[in-house]
Amino acid sequence: MPVRTWVNDGWTRRSLLTAAVAGLGLGATAACGIFDDEPPTPPDSDPLEPLLAGTIALADRYDATIAALPELTTRLTPVRDAHRTHATELARMIGKPLPSSSPAATSSAPADAAAAVAALRTAEQQAQRAAADACLAASAKRAPVLGSIAASRATHVEVLS
């Protein structure tokens, strides 16, 4: 049925045959991966990927704030370290190496300590909700660690108050 339509639209048998051969060629190229040592097609992205990316970004943001405002070092370092621990846990659950952070990509921290702490506090509240949502949607195996991450972020809000 489709062949007739294409022919009626001006497709020739020859062009159809070419297209079919091209299709076979593509199939054969894709199949080569099975026999070569090419990396397999990446699996569907893990639902925790956005949480991992957000966690690394948040830790980088603490690094940037500490660099800009050294007087906050004592207060912020344990929180920054907690986010690094969370990133390690998330990467372990996803089953991939921990991506490297990119502090250069982060936006500059506010010049004023009070404003910087307030901004981090807001970020922690958003991050807490993201971790809580992930916990509620997760498998039984993942839920406890995700719950700990969400609870940890609630405690960060507390120490940034």
Give me the residues that bind other proteins (CB under 8 A), please: 78-79, 81-82, 85-86, 89, 132, 135-136, 140-141, 143-152, 154-156, 158-159
Cβ nearer to other proteins, comparing 64 with 87: 87
Whether 119 contacts 110, CB under 8 Å: yes
Q: How far is the CB of 85 from other proteins (least distance, A)?
A: 4
Cβ nearer to other proteins, comparing 109 with 135: 135
Distances (CA, A) of 58 to 35, 37, 111: 42, 36, 18
Q: How far is the CB of 124 from other proteins (least distance, A)?
A: 11
Q: How far is the CB of 42 from other proteins (least distance, A)?
A: 28
Cβ nearer to other proteins, comparing 122 with 155: 155
- Note the maximum CA span of the chain: 77
Whether 87 contacts 149, CB under 8 Å: no
Distance of alpha carbon 150 from its chain centroid, rounded? 17
Cβ nearer to other proteins, comparing 15 with 126: 126
Q: Measure the CA–CA gap between 16 and 84, rounded to whole angstroms.
A: 56
